[in-house]
Every structure is written in structure tokens, then in C-alpha cells.
Amino acid sequence: MMDKILKGTITDGETGETSDIEPLYLYFNPAEISAIVKVRWMESYYDRTKEVQGECLALDWQGNVYKLSLYFSPESPDEAKKIISEFAVGKIMAVAGSYCVMPKEECKIKLFQIEYNPLPPEYSIEEVEEVFRFNNARRIREDARHGDVYAQVELGNMYAEGDGVEQDFAEAAKWYRKAADQGDRLAQYLIGGLYKEGKGVPQDDEEAVKWFRKAADQGLREAKLELEKMKDK
């Protein structure tokens, strides 16, 4: 297992191009992580790499919330479909598996050889949801205050959507701007959208175009589309 993870090559199923696998893993630990998780997304890449991958918020047994990526190697297309159906977005469940640490990735802990089960009966879905909501918001705030770009964008999203906090577009703009000033293209796109709509900031097409262009220059397709729309106005 470790050899396959740490070295070798991978072939793109569509182009046939072969490239070396970078040794991104700090270590692979045969010991298990067990956690309650809330699924954020899950995608099947079975037709290309025979993998199913996803990301979730994980809750350790002390109530701390962290990001956890999930990696499956299904043996058939039907097994891949089953995993996708089991890990519906927003679902809360229990998982366990061996893990590795990926220091270059946003989601630094990756789980392999995963076993999964429904939430144990001694836990209430409603109570677990509340713990996720409260502790995740606390984690995001702490990370955002320490300059973490991903957390700043997440905190901006929370305020923009009223997710776990009272909706406040001015606060959303503040946190998007902090991340945008650090060069994050998604934050640049989002702050541009607020200027375009006049939400939390004065409506200002010139400022919107400035931020959309910054994001577009970094290859964000959505920002390029916004620039085209504004050009046609």
C-alpha cells in the first residue's frame, strides 16, 4: 500500500499520458482514525482512475472539527455507485480507516481503507448537527483571524448565506476582501460579485470589474463569464 502511494506513475485514462506520482505524503499510518463525519462532497472517478474521492467535516471524540478527505478504491462500477449513494451531501455517519498526512493540501488528512456505518444510536442527529455548526464556526473564525485564506473565504460564505450566523453582507465583504488581498481567486470573484450587486459594499461596476479581472487572470472561468456579461451591458 505504501509503495503504491509514495512512488510510481499514473496514466490519464483519456489522453494516455503518463506522469510520476509526487511524494506528497508526509507519512502513512496503519493505525486508524475513527470519527463522526458530515459529507461535503463525493465524486466518482472510476472511469478514469478507478477511484472515488470526497471531503467531509470530521468530529473527533472531543468535539473538535477538522477537514478529512476520503479515498476509496472500488472494485467495480456498481461499488463506486454504491459509495456515492451512501455518502450523500450533508449526511452524518461514522467512519474509520488508515490515514496519511498531506502537508501541501488544504485538506491535510486523507483516509484510506474506509469502513463506514450509520451514526451510532446513542447519538442524536440534531445534537451532532448543532455541534458541527457551532464548533466548525469557531474553527473557521480562529483560522480566519490567523490569516488562513481558505477559512477567510469560508467565513465570508457563512455571513453571505446566513449559515450558522446572522446574514451580514458587510461582514462577508470584509472577509472576502482579506482573502482577495492575499491573491485568492475565488475571494476576488466573490468580492467582485458583492460590488456588482451592491451587497455589503457600495454598488460599483468599476470595482466589480477590477476584482473579476484579477480572478479571471488566474484562470477562474466564472469570473471570465462575468466580465463578458458586464461588457455587454
- Domain architecture of the chain: domains with CATH: 2-122 (2.40.50.140), 147-231 (1.25.40.10)
Average pLDDT value for the chain: 83
Contact 119, 95 (CB under 8 A): no
Tens-place pLDDT, residues 145-204:
999 888 899 899 999 988 878 899 999 999 999 999 999 999 999 999 999 999 999 999
In terms of Cβ atoms closer than 10 Å to its own Cβ (0-12, 13-18, 19+), residue 49 is middle
Question: Phi first, then psi: what are they for 167, rounded to 5°?
Answer: -60, 130
Q: Retrieve residue 57's grid coordinates.
A: 467535516
pLDDT value for 109:
84
Task: Quote the pTM value.
Answer: 0.57
* Band (130; pLDDT cuts 50, 70, 90): confident
pLDDT value for 190:
96
Tens-place pLDDT, residues 31-79:
678 888 989 889 999 998 899 999 888 887 677 788 889 999 999 999 9
